[in-house]
A and B are shown apart, each in its own frame.
Chain A
Amino acid sequence: MTTAVRKTQDAAREATVAKLGQIPTGDRIRGLAFKLLVLTSAILGVAGLLALIIQSGVVGAERLNLDLFTQGPSSLAEEGGFLAGILGTLFVIGGVLVTAVPLGIGAAIYLEEFAKKENWFNRLIELNIQNLAAVPSIVFGILGLGLIVRGPIGLGGVAFAGSLTLALLVLPTVILASREALRAVPTSIREGAMALGATRWQAVRHQVLPSAVPGMATGSILALSRAIGETAPLLLVGAAVFVTANPDNPFEGAYTVLPVQIYNYVARPQEEFQVLAAAGIIVLLIVLIVMNSGAIWLRNRFATRW
């Protein structure tokens, strides 16, 4: 709500109160108590989440140096680093980028611009996408284990199997965000283009898509950042909890990713490993916060207002 609207409301209420007499004390107290209640819950929520970030910062500060990025995994906490995890994450996320993003945007364009809304197949797709968004991530891990790692596709526990699993996981996010972006482009733009003789595809390609790009980019970045932080499904598709060597390429050899490495360190009882884990969390948080803020900035900066 805008300030102006709220000011008008307040002024109107003041005027009414002045005319009709005071608000009863009971109402005043109840109103104040409720305001304090909702304010407290907002503060508690933000404070709890900030405590998480600060706690990781305080615990991990002493290990936050360049060794973190150059050292491989080690059973000695003083020598351990996240190089293998960072390389693995780059491989896995690269795979997600080249599969989920084009697939998701393609699906969104089809559903929003070409599909007939009353077609049973398209309604099925739509219902599916809604449902997929609520499926627990570990179930996608089981899917990856059963179909991609060991089943019909049988890639084995390599980084690309992780990519495909995460791609399926974030696909609904990409589709929903891209549809949202396409829907924000007014129909008059399409009609205008088609009235000038453009085909439906030409109208989409040259008029609709360019203005929907910022929204689609935002959705895709958010999806990728979710994939970077995702741990559970990768545990099932072979992101080995402890690897001894850095991965060479996405299609062969054992791999691990940054969050799995953090989990591995958190799960150990020694305090030095907790410190190392906290340092890893800070690295992960910085990457994710930069990506998410970037996405939100992109949305606010380049979104076309019609």
Chain B
Amino acid sequence: MSPPTNSVSSAEPPRIGLERRKPRYGEKVIIGLLAVCAAVSVAVTVGIVFSLVGPTVSFFSEVPLTEFFSFAEWSPLFADGEFGVFEIVAGTLNVTLWAVVVGLPLGLGSAIYLSEYASPRVRRILKPTLEVLAGVPTVAFGFFALTFITPILSDIWPGFLGDGPSIFSAGAAGIAIGLFILPIVASISDDAMTSVPNSLREGAYALGATRLKVATRVVVPAALSGIVASFVLAISRAVGETMVVLIAAGNSPNLTLNPAESIQAMTAFIATTATGDIGVGTLEYETIFAVGALLFVMTMIMNVFAIRLVRKYREVYE
């Protein structure tokens, strides 16, 4: 930069440009690379759809849709097998039902306790504990269901409900998955409830509300979108859970919601069939993709629904 000068002799004082001196091609390359990274995540979804569609289409050219979506038996691996997918959809719903019965209320209760009742010290210990426990691998939950929950269930099963669960049961797997989704519900719902501004609580207290009323009539409704989102995420985790049902729920397709019976879930079918010896392009191979596509569509619908719901009911504070 030239120092300011008083001389008026020179015709044009040198101007300092504020624009860039030289084009920075290196930065353009870097930003391009970063954009490629982001695009890969789109490619993954496209890849999932692409990899599912081909074999699924050729599956349905051999098995009519009306047979797939029917209450016929599910025995695709037998010569002359039948393809009534509702039997394994029922298996998945059976397990999910018991997981929901256990996991959602306990998770929401824990979240209300954490956000509205726990002292800061208890909270500082409990919240990270839950977060760490959320990382326990599902194969451990399967082992727990088989060696701990199943024996307890068969001991305390009341006789008037019929025979108790044997080695494999939908109920034991469901309870284990319920424990597995509990930290997810607790953690996300707690985040939603702690972000409700204190002025709402104080306003309610000032009007004479008890702590119970504040929790159930003010904080929970205000945090509803986050709570619902945690529920939907938990349910889609339960639907997609594989190892627990594979280990503890058995492998016999069964159209029932009875927790004492052995069932086959969609994910368990996929895992068992894929680990068996099957050739590419056979009908068995394509069945995996058809069931996978159905599973993908089910969880996708739930997720889109959840995102909509959260957008619609989200309360924005300050």
The distance from the CB of A301 to the nearest CB of chain B, in whole angstroms, is 13
Q: Which stretch (A62-70, A90-98, A126-134, A247-255) binds chain B?
A: A126-134
Assembly CA distance A52 to B180 (angstroms): 11
Q: Is the CB of B270 within 8 A of A35?
A: no
| The residue from B108, B135, B142, B210 contacting A222, defined by CB atoms under 8 A apart | B135
Q: Is the CB of A34 within 8 A of B215?
A: yes
Q: Is the CB of B141 within 8 A of A52?
A: yes
Total A-B pairs in contact (CB under 8 Å)? 304
Q: Is the CB of B148 within 8 A of A55?
A: yes
* CB-CB under 8 A for A1 and B179, given A39-B117, A235-B274: no
B307 within 8 Å of A (CB atoms):
yes
The distance from the CB of B172 to the nearest CB of chain A, in whole angstroms, is 13
A192 within 8 Å of B (CB atoms):
no
Q: Is the CB of B240 within 8 A of A41?
A: no
B70 within 8 Å of A (CB atoms):
no
Q: Is the CB of B132 within 8 A of A293?
A: yes
- Contacting residues of chain A (172-189) with chain B, CB-CB under 8 angstroms: 172, 175
The distance from the CB of A205 to the nearest CB of chain B, in whole angstroms, is 9
Q: Is the CB of B139 within 8 A of A229?
A: yes
Lowest 9 A-B CB distances belong to which pairs? A136-B240, A41-B109, A229-B137, A106-B37, A146-B51, A232-B242, A110-B34, A38-B113, A107-B38
The distance from the CB of B189 to the nearest CB of chain A, in whole angstroms, is 12
Q: Is the CB of A16 within 8 A of B208?
A: yes
The distance from the CB of B95 to the nearest CB of chain A, in whole angstroms, is 13
Assembly CA distance A115 to B36 (angstroms): 12
Q: Is the CB of B289 within 8 A of A136?
A: no
Residues of chain A within 8 A (CB-CB) of B147 are: 55, 59, 274, 278
Q: Is the CB of B300 within 8 A of A131?
A: yes
- Contacting residues of chain A (37-57) with chain B, CB-CB under 8 angstroms: 37-42, 44-46, 48-49, 51-53, 55-56
Q: Is the CB of B45 within 8 A of A9?
A: no
Residues of chain B within 8 A (CB-CB) of A103 are: 37, 40
Assembly CA distance A171 to B288 (angstroms): 24
Q: Is the CB of A139 within 8 A of B48?
A: yes
Total A residues in contact with B, Cβ cutoff 8 Å:
104
| The residue from B35, B41, B117, B126 contacting A132, defined by CB atoms under 8 A apart | B41
Assembly CA distance A136 to B303 (angstroms): 11
- Contacting residues of chain A (122-152) with chain B, CB-CB under 8 angstroms: 122, 124-125, 127-143, 145-147, 150-151
Q: Interface centre among A102, A107, A115, A225, by most B CB within 10 Å?
A: A107
A267 within 8 Å of B (CB atoms):
yes
The distance from the CB of A274 to the nearest CB of chain B, in whole angstroms, is 6
Residues of chain B within 8 A (CB-CB) of A236 are: 270-271, 274-275
* CB-CB under 8 A for A138 and B242, given A3-B120, A143-B47, A146-B51: yes
Assembly CA distance A35 to B216 (angstroms): 11
B13 within 8 Å of A (CB atoms):
no
Total B residues in contact with A, Cβ cutoff 8 Å:
103
The distance from the CB of B220 to the nearest CB of chain A, in whole angstroms, is 11
A20 within 8 Å of B (CB atoms):
yes
A199 within 8 Å of B (CB atoms):
yes
Residues of chain A within 8 A (CB-CB) of B201 are: 9
A303 within 8 Å of B (CB atoms):
no
Q: Name which residue of chain B comes closest to A171, CB basis.
A: B41
A241 within 8 Å of B (CB atoms):
yes
The distance from the CB of A83 to the nearest CB of chain B, in whole angstroms, is 18
| The residue from B128, B137, B232 contacting A259, defined by CB atoms under 8 A apart | B137
* Interchain residue pairs with CB less than 8 A apart (28): A6-B119, A6-B120, A30-B210, A37-B109, A39-B113, A39-B117, A46-B130, A49-B179, A107-B34, A114-B35, A122-B38, A125-B39, A131-B304, A134-B236, A135-B299, A136-B237, A137-B242, A138-B271, A139-B296, A142-B292, A143-B44, A201-B31, A222-B135, A231-B138, A232-B243, A263-B246, A274-B147, A284-B139
Assembly CA distance A168 to B41 (angstroms): 8
Residues of chain B within 8 A (CB-CB) of A229 are: 135-139
